[in-house]
Structure 1
Amino acid sequence: MEFVLGAMGASGAVCFTNPLEVIKTRFQLQGELKKVGNYKVHYRNFAHAIYVVAKNEGPLALQKGLLPAMGHQVLLNGTRYGIFDLAQKNKWILKENGTVSLIKSVAVGAGAGMLGGFLGSPLGMLKIHLQSYSAQSIAVGYQRKTISTLNGLLTLYRDYGVVRGLWRGAVGAMVRIGVASSAQLSTTSILNEAFIEHGLLTKDQKFLSTLMSSMVGGVLMSILMAPFDLVSTRLYNQGVDSKGRGLLYKSYMECLIKTFRQEGVHGLYKGVIPCYLRLGPHVVLSMVFWERLRLLEKNISDHFNNPQTLV
């Protein structure tokens, strides 16, 4: 049940935040491996990017990749929220004195995130392929004419096999999610505890506590994750040869080093604003949905365990 609730919470959130993901992807691919001034700028800023996409591709283009994005959230966040919920219930992240351990919560969050990132990698890659495909006049990055989610997965498998087809770029996704998950889940747990311990909120104000802690967690998550998110996007989106090997980057580190050398620190943080604008609401919504669903599940369970409460 922990995994189902985590998946439902994240899937609900992505319906609202997917347009921000589309814009983030376009920024991350714009000017790939080119110095500033040596490429055409299609997307000047966040608001301009929304306008350009809607004008050239129609408003519905802002929801490109929604289906694989939802499937990706089911596998990714269903796994990491589910594991973290089990860790909380079994007190795996607590110190001997009963308080939250930063080291343990970071470790559990990172491990759960990396596993979720691996499981959801094929759908995560397909999401990037769909989101990056655009009208030729505003195209950035490698362009794939993927028809649908199922067609995209079958094509990747048929052309390149399981490892170099469906799970190509999985390392980038695992690093990205491992960093993000450890920052988000550990921050949320520690802040929730701190708000109550210092009298800022009470145990009855769980909703407000989750809302505030997830907002802070979203900021930290965005800052730490931005370079890893960019590398993951580029590894997923790059063109490949007949054997499924990347044309631009042969490995995670090569992508990181090439990007830094050609584009500098600024290049590694391309799309950081839409990244936060997407992650902030997504983290808040998914955590709040998750918390509400867990509370609902607990209430239903309590009712069935105590039949007299149904009278």
Structure 2
Amino acid sequence: MLILDINASKIFREGELRAKGEHAVHYRNVFHAAYVVAKHDGIRGLQKGLGAATLMHCVRNSVRLGSYQWLHTSAVCGAAGAFFGSPLFMIKTQLQSQAAKTIAVGHQHGRTGTLQAVHDIYVIHGIRGLWRGCCGTMIRAVVGSSAQLASFAQAKDFLAEYSLFRNHPVLNSFLASVIGGLLQTVCMQPFDLVSVRLYNQGVDASGKGLLYNGILDCFVKIFKTEGVVGFYKGITANYMRLGPHGALCLVFWDILKDWQKKFTNSDKISR
């Protein structure tokens, strides 16, 4: 899935603040992007940011899904997960932006690894530098988590109400997660693209962005130069990433919750 994440990220940044036809097209679609990256950067180029991405998802989903079980407020849980995972999201984005000069899109930060990126950002910009752009990703997470978890729960209830796949709870969860992933992608896509651009933009000595002053400024500039279509660049790659990721995450989450209930109930009975 990291391969799809990298491809989506590169398509998000291509033609940044330029109208259609006014920039070179390096990546025609998700499959072409994978081919171009592998050709110029090698197979390892398709795995850039693996460490940061793994840690980020561990942090974000642990907070998001762990707190949702007792809060049942998907927006709040999503925002909390995004806040704690924000530095890793930024570093992942900057690592994935690195590419050969002939296919590079967006600002090139020259990151070589997760630890080096954390050190450099902290030394130059302090703690605030590590959380630069977190507002964008928190709004992204609020929209995405609300759409995904709410639609997942509704779809599960609908399937259960009509006794569809009653004897196959895993299949029930899987179908509900596919619906949740689709709605999540459509709703979150513009915010996903904006978050990637905010994280990847260059900054001056004070840590101020060189292209965008904030999330609202980013939305306005993209709309003026790239139009509404600009917000949905790479949506296919994004769904190919979010769909399987969400399905696996939510299905295993459901399985683990069922195990927890069985263990808790058996423990109460034994007492």
Residue number in structure 1 paired with 2:160: 196
Aligned letter for 2:21? G
Asked if 1 retains the 8 angstrom alpha-carbon contact of 2:74 and 2:150, the reply is: yes
- Provide Cα deviations, 1:237-296, integer angstroms capped at 9, x if missing partner: 000000110000011100000001000011111111101111111111111122233334
TM-score by length of 1: 0.84
Residue number in structure 1 paired with 2:124: 159
Following TM superposition, by how much is the alpha carbon of 1:302 offset from its aligned partner in structure 2, in angstroms?
5.2
Equivalent residue for 2:191, pick from 228, 231, 234: 228
Across the aligned residues of Structure 1 and Structure 2, the Cα RMSD in angstroms comes to: 1.6
Equivalent residue for 1:82, pick from 47, 62, 66: 66
In 1, distance between residues paired with 2:261 and 2:47? Answer: 34
Equivalent residue for 2:40, pick from 56, 76, 80: 56
1:70 counterpart SS class: helix
- State the percentage of identical aligned residues: 42
2:7 counterpart SS class: helix
Following TM superposition, by how much is the alpha carbon of 1:199 offset from its aligned partner in structure 2, in angstroms?
2.1
TM-score by length of 2: 0.96
Asked if 1 retains the 8 angstrom alpha-carbon contact of 2:29 and 2:234, the reply is: no
The size of the alignment, in residue pairs, is: 271
The answer as to 2:229 corresponding to 1:266 is yes
1:137 counterpart SS class: coil
The answer as to 2:208 corresponding to 1:208 is no
Residue number in structure 2 paired with 1:46: 30
Equivalent residue for 2:101, pick from 136, 140, 151: 136
2:207 counterpart SS class: coil
Runs of at least 5 residues in structure 1 that lack an aligned partner in the other structure: 1-16, 88-92, 94-107
Equivalent residue for 1:182, pick from 146, 151, 154: 146
- Provide Cα deviations, 1:135-176, integer angstroms capped at 9, x if missing partner: 11100000011121111011111101111x100000000011
1:31 counterpart SS class: coil
- Provide Cα deviations, 1:1-33, integer angstroms capped at 9, x if missing partner: xxxxxxxxxxxxxxxx11110000000000000
Runs of at least 5 residues in structure 2 that lack an aligned partner in the other structure: none
Asked if 1 retains the 8 angstrom alpha-carbon contact of 2:52 and 2:89, the reply is: yes
2:105 counterpart SS class: coil
The answer as to 2:265 corresponding to 1:281 is no
In 1, distance between residues paired with 2:116 and 2:253? Answer: 31
- Provide Cα deviations, 1:25-72, integer angstroms capped at 9, x if missing partner: 000000000111111111011111110011111112211111111111
